[in-house]
């Protein structure tokens, strides 16, 4: 009887130690302040340059996101919807669950959304 209680106590202690060693890291990202103007040339183009132009470049999968062509490709190609920014193709592809979400992050998607909400200016 004593031996069984001892074994149960050891199992309980090992279980508690194992549970205590578990760690959950919540991934957070900076939400862009919508009152701060987002620059297409320096902030949005930097997102494209960082991880998009390898596939979305001249003669590759549309839209062409190279610095010389990206703004016109997005605006004239129907990828930006200034009336309903949340429905813009460029944003929905980058947002969580979108086809490009594995290649970008929520912070970049949020910055693109704010840029569109601010009028999608070529600034």
d(CA 84, CA 113): 10
d(CA 120, CA 123): 9
Element (H, E) at 117: helix 106-117
Q: Which candidate, 123, 94, 101, places its Cα nearest to that of 113?
A: 94
- The model carries a pTM of 0.75
Extents of the domains making up the chain: 40-117
Q: Each residue of 53-94: pLDDT tens digit?
A: 999 999 999 999 999 999 999 999 999 999 999 999 999 999
d(CA 71, CA 10): 64
d(CA 55, CA 120): 23
């Amino acid at each position: 009887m004593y031996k069984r209680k001892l074994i149960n106590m050891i199992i309980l202690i090992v279980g508690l130690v194992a549970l205590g060693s578990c760690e959950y890291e919540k991934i957070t990202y900076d939400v862009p302040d919508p009152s701060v103007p987002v620059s297409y040339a320096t902030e949005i183009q930097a997102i494209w340059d960082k991880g998009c132009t390898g596939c979305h470049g001249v003669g590759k999968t549309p839209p062409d996101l190279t610095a010389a062509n990206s703004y016109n490709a997005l605006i004239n190609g129907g990828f930006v919807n200034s009336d309903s920014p949340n429905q813009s193709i460029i944003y929905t592809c980058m947002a969580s669950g979108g086809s490009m979400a594995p290649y970008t992050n929520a912070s970049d998607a949020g910055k693109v959304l704010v840029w569109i909400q601010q009028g999608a200016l070529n600034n």
